[in-house]
Amino acid sequence: MSNTFIVSNRLPVRLDDAGKPVRTTGGLASALAGSGIEATWVGWPGIASEQMENEAQLVATLKESGIVPVILGEEIIDGYYHGYANSTVWPLLHYMIERARFEPEWFPFYEKANRAFAEAILDVVEDSDTVWIHDYHLFLLPRMLRESGKKLRIAFFLHTPFPSSEIFRALSERRKILEGLLGADLIGFHTYNYLRHFRSAVLRVLGVESNVGSVQQEQREVSLGVYPIGHDHRGFSKAMQTAEYQDALNRHAAELAEKKLFISVERLDYTKGIPQKLDAIRLFLKENEAERAKIVFVIIAVPSRGDVDEYVQLTEEVQREVGAINGKYGTVGHAPVQFLHRSFPQPELAALYALADACLVTPLIDGMNLVAKEYIDCKNESTGGRPGVLILSEFAGAAQELSHAIMVNPYDVTETARAITQALTMSDNDKQKRTLAMQDRLRRSDSSAWATTILNEVKAIPLTVREVNATTQFPMITGRVVKAVQEGGRASLFLDYDGTLRDFVSKPEDAVPDPELLPLFDRLCAIPGLDVAVVSGRPLEFLDQHFPNPALTLVAEHGYRWRRPDTDGWELVHEHIDTDWIDVVMPLLEQAVDLTPGSHLEEKQSSIVWHYRQTDPEFGLWRAHGLLAELTDVTASLPVAVHHGKKIVEVASQLVNKGQAVKALISDWHPNIAIVAGDDQTDETMFALELGNELDFVSVKVGDEGATRAKRRTDIRGLRNFLVQLSEELGTDPALKR
């Protein structure tokens, strides 16, 4: 049976006065408890190893209750948690680049901490287990687990926003972070906007294109999804059944008497917009003298990240401002703003939600915001709830679901002050209607439903998807080639170069053959009965320079010229080719270069190629579509073929294509078996060849993108392994050795 592991920076435990771990509820822990999913937690217990009185005992106690602790020392916690995660990444994910601190010494600790998590997990997981990783503290972990070679299903959920790539790319470690994340099988976000920004970062930082729902990674597909988190409905319902809740409800109702209660609840964090909220309250009190004594704003701000300077300063700023407002608008018996800088038990919180006439949720930006959902849920008449209305920032992820709230722009203090007036004067009937319109859906899509959905989706991903090992498709073919050659027949290999025999690089001239390739060709060319051709779009100069072995056949410029063994160098494949069309298409191609920074033209004997690999990826693609439409029009009656390849648009003479050249070579060589391999559109002319039943014709597409007429697929490594295997099997046969 496969197991599920939930990994988050903090474990759902706190240490009591005696240093003993006590399970805490709330958030993820309750979500899972409610969903009936059994999972083991992996995380940091919240104190540094140096502070633990008896580390071994603590670890043993935690393990007994199904928890796997990740033990971290003070130095790592400082650099990883207080430093990189909370002082660099957190502000950046929330668009607050001016608050982000960039200290080069922090990232190595972030890596070390992620590594410590990986090791703790790898100690306990087995093949086919599911690991669900949470949040920005652990961006590198999915890849670390993937690289372990264990067959795990890995999900990652980001609880914060994912910002625009313009902001994200300010991180020096942007590549490592994206690559780390892409080690997962499934990456989840709260909203479609965050997913969209993530895709754009993957495109702009890694140059990897994606679909709305997935990113292709070598032989794996990484699913992307939108899963708005729900609140702990079950937990709040239970809390509202307790005596503690009733007691708080009665007590607060008596304290409030006729006064209206406007509540806000949040961690004291600069993303939550507390100073702006206080500005709006101040403006409201200034303009509504008659209301001052009748309203109380209770601001519950749970202490957060007290070790980070930014947070200490924010606390002081908020305390000062609250004092100033009360000093100005309070009376002897009444302070309009109550700032409660501490945490409350859940039943007490539920009672305050139930009583409050309005809830002010006004973050400057927030991944989701659960308080907004909890407030709506607690508006339950049968448990003493009073009608109330939610005032909600349009920049909280929750705004996309809670459309019946009074929506505000938290930066617009006047608008928020006006929303307070609107809430104050709203009829109970209107409040109830708004609440009811949202309540059912919120209760259904609570935190348990959310956790169940994500876990079900990741568990449905077949482990075998990413085991499609291209090399496994070849033994049969190797056997057929070996047999043909050993039985005195002939075999031919027609191999494209870029993207087939080696990877793409941004400058085509840098894509020289790697050190293994030329000796491999030397070995293959030495096998009697085997003919080998490199069939490329490259100019003859490049091929001549990099493939010196004269026994190797070279086809340049997509089949325009060739260099065959035992001949005097390069010849035209076809004697007469009309190139008058070049004058017609050239102006269009030159215009494309002028209008698209980073693009350039490559002129070949029988074709012209517009390259846009180094342009802005979206802009380049858009221009390519425009150019293709124009070219299709202009070339309708010309003897050319226009095609859209990988980051190129090519106009080529119709007679000249790789397929025609291969066909001519096959009729020369008479092989019993021929293998053609290529990765892009120009190679389709080879795959589409119809050469009769006599020939064993094997077409292989390298890469898993796009439709193809080839009968098989592999990747660069798979093809390379096949060639090596062939050279070993045929090269080691003494009968065949020269």
| Residues lying near ligand GDG in the complex (CB under 6 A) | 159-160, 229, 265, 267, 300, 302, 343-346, 349, 366-371, 374
- Long-range contacts of range 581-589, CB-CB < 8 Å, 24 or more positions apart? 581/635, 581/638, 581/639, 581/640, 581/651, 581/653, 582/608, 584/634, 584/635, 584/638, 585/631, 585/634, 585/635, 585/638, 585/640, 585/651, 588/627, 588/630, 588/631, 588/634, 589/627, 589/651
d(CA 213, CA 12): 31
d(CA 471, CA 261): 68
The torsion defined by the Cα of 74, 80, 82 and 84, in degrees rounded to 10, comes to 150
Q: Which residues are bridge partners to 496 per DSSP?
A: none
In contact, 394 and 408? CB cutoff 8 Å: yes
How many helices (DSSP H) and strands (DSSP E) are in the chain?
A: 26, 29
Instruction: Indicate the residue among 237 and 681 with the shorter CB distance to ligand GDG.
Output: 237
Element (H or E) spanning 602, and its range?
strand 600-603
3-state SS string for 256-310: HCCCEEEEEEEECCHHHCHHHHHHHHHHHHHHCHHHHHHEEEEEEEECCCCCCHH
Tell me how crowded residue 599 is: count the other CB atoms within 10 A of its CB: 24
In contact, 19 and 39? CB cutoff 8 Å: no
Task: Please report the DSSP string for 369-394 in residue order.
Answer: -HHHHHHHHT--GGGTPPP-EEEEET
Q: Which two tokens stand for residue 284?
A: 């409201």
Q: Is 594 a catalytic residue?
A: no
Residue pointed to by tokens 């990099």 = 546
Task: Spot the catalytic one: 377, 496, 498, 531.
Answer: 496
Ranges of beta strands (E only) in 375-512 are 389-393, 406-408, 491-495
3-state SS string for 190-209: CCHHHHHHHHHHHHHHHCCC
In contact, 355 and 262? CB cutoff 8 Å: no
Nearest to 185 by CA among 215, 211, 228: 215
Q: Which two tokens stand for residue 480?
A: 């057929």
| Amino acid, res. 158 | L
Tell me how crowded residue 430 is: count the other CB atoms within 10 A of its CB: 13
How far from 530 is each of 85, 122, 270, 562, CA to CA, in Å? 57, 47, 70, 18
Task: Please report the DSSP string for 12-25 in residue order.
Answer: SEEE-TTS-EEE--
**What's the min distance (Å) between Cβ of 284 and ligand GDG?**
23
In contact, 478 and 729? CB cutoff 8 Å: yes
- Long-range contacts of range 253-259, CB-CB < 8 Å, 24 or more positions apart? 253/355, 256/296, 256/355, 258/294, 259/294, 259/295, 259/296
**What's the min distance (Å) between Cβ of 300 and ligand GDG?**
5
d(CA 546, CA 511): 10
> Residue 101 burial (CB < 10 Å; 0-12/13-18/19+)?
middle
d(CA 75, CA 83): 10
Ranges of beta strands (E only) in 685-734 are 696-702, 712-714
Catalytic residues: 496
